[in-house]
A and B are shown apart, each in its own frame.
Chain A
Amino acid sequence: MWADTLFIVFISVCTALFGEGLTWLLVYRTEKYQKLKTEVERQCKKLEKKKEAHGDSVDRQQKKKIEREEERLKNSNRDLSLVKMKSMFAIGFAFTALLSMFNSIFDGRVVAKLPFLPISWLQGLSHRNLMGDDYTDCSFIFLYILCTMSIRQNIQKLLGFAPSRAANKHSTNLFGPQPQQMGAFK
Chain B
Amino acid sequence: MTSTKTKGHHRAKEGCLGSVINRALTSNSQWPDKDEFLDVIYWGRQVLGVALGLVWGFIPLKGFIGLFLFCLINAALVYFYASSFQGVDEEEFGGMWELTKEGFVTSFAGFLVMWIILYSGLHYD
**Which A residues contact B (CB, under 8 angstroms)?**
1-2, 5-6, 9, 112-117, 138, 143, 146-147, 149-151, 153-154, 157, 164-165
The verdict on A115 contacting B113 (CB below 8 Å), with A5-B120, A150-B106, A165-B35 known, is no
Q: Which residues from A are CB-within-8-Å of B56?
A: 115
Q: Which residues from A are CB-within-8-Å of B105?
A: 149
A-B contact pairs, 8 of them (CB 8 A): A5-B121, A6-B117, A9-B117, A113-B124, A115-B63, A138-B120, A146-B109, A149-B105
Nearest CB in chain A to that of B56: its residue? A115
A153 touches which one: B61, B106, B113, B120 (CB < 8 A)? Answer: B106
Contact A116 B66 (CB under 8 A): yes
The verdict on A146 contacting B113 (CB below 8 Å), with A154-B46, A164-B35 known, is yes
The verdict on A115 contacting B119 (CB below 8 Å), with A146-B109, A154-B46 known, is yes
**Which B51-109 residues have C-beta < 8 A from chain A?**
56-57, 60-64, 66-67, 105-107, 109
The verdict on A149 contacting B115 (CB below 8 Å), with A115-B62, A115-B63, A154-B46 known, is no
| Interface range for B | 20 to 34
Q: Which residues from A are CB-within-8-Å of B24?
A: none
Q: Binding site of B, secondary structure by majority: helix, strand, loop or mixed?
A: helix
Contact A114 B116 (CB under 8 A): yes
Q: Which residues from B are CB-within-8-Å of A5?
A: 116-117, 120-121
CB of B16 to closest CB in A, whole Å: 13
What per-residue 1/0 map shows which CB atoms of B38-49 lie under 8 Å from chain A? Answer: 100010001001
Nearest CB in chain A to that of B93: its residue? A165
- Bound form: Cα–Cα A115–B123 in Å: 10
Contact B124 A1 (CB under 8 A): yes
The verdict on A138 contacting B109 (CB below 8 Å), with A2-B125, A5-B121, A116-B66 known, is no
CB of B88 to closest CB in A, whole Å: 15
Contact A9 B113 (CB under 8 A): yes
